[in-house]
Structure 1
Amino acid sequence: MTLNLRVLSPNRVVWDSEVKEIILSTNSGQIGVLPNHASLVAAVDIGVMKIRLNGRWSTMALMGGFAKIDNDKITVLVNNAERDVDINLKEAQETFRIAKADLARAEGKRQAIEADVALKRARTRLEAINASPPVSNENFGE
Structure 2
Amino acid sequence: MTLEISILVPDRIFLKDSVKEIILPTLSGQMGVLTNHIPLLTGLDTGIVLISKESSSNWLKIVITGGFALVNNNKVTILVNEAELGSDINEQEAEQSFLSSKLALEKASDGRKKIELTSQFKKARARFLWFIYTLKKML
The residue number in structure 1 matching 2:119 is 117
Counterpart secondary structure, 1:112? helix
**Alignment gaps of 5+ in structure 2:** 135-139
Q: What is the rounded CA distance, in whole Å, between the counterparts of 1:34 and 1:111 in structure 2?
A: 39
Correspondence 1:88-99 to 2 at 5 A: 88-99=90-101
Alignment of 1:17-56 (within 5 A): 17-55=17-55, 56=58
One-letter code of the match for 1:78? V
Query: Which residue type is aligned with residue 60 of structure 2?
Result: S
How many positions carry a matched residue from both structures?
134
Q: 3-state DSSP class of the match of 1:54?
A: coil
- Aligned residue type for 1:118: Q
2:85 to 61, 73, 83: 83
Cα separation, 2, equivalents of 1:110 and 1:73: 38
State the distance in 2 between where 1:29 and 1:103 align.
22
Pair 1:49–1:4, CA change in 2 (3 A) = same
CA distance in structure 2 between the partners assigned to 1:4 and 1:47 by the alignment: 21
2:107 is aligned, of 105, 108, 111, to 105
Asked if structure 2 preserves the Cα contact closer than 8 Å seen for 1:85 and 1:129, the reply is no
Question: RMSD over aligned Cα, in angstroms?
Answer: 1.8
Q: Which 5+ residue runs of structure 1 have no aligned equivalent?
A: 133-142
Note the alpha carbon deviations across 1:3-42, whole angstroms, 9 max, x for none. Answer: 0111111123221100000011111221110001111111
* In structure 1, C-alpha distance between the alignment counterparts of 2:131 and 2:34, rounded to whole Å: 23
Cα distance, 1:105 vs structure 2: 2.7
Q: Percent identity?
A: 41
- TM (normalized to structure 1)? 0.87
- 1:64-108 per-residue CA deviation (whole Å, 9 max, x = no partner) reads 000001111100000101111111111111111221221133131
Q: TM-score, normalised by structure 2?
A: 0.89
- Choose which of 56, 63, 85 in structure 2 pairs with 1:61: 63
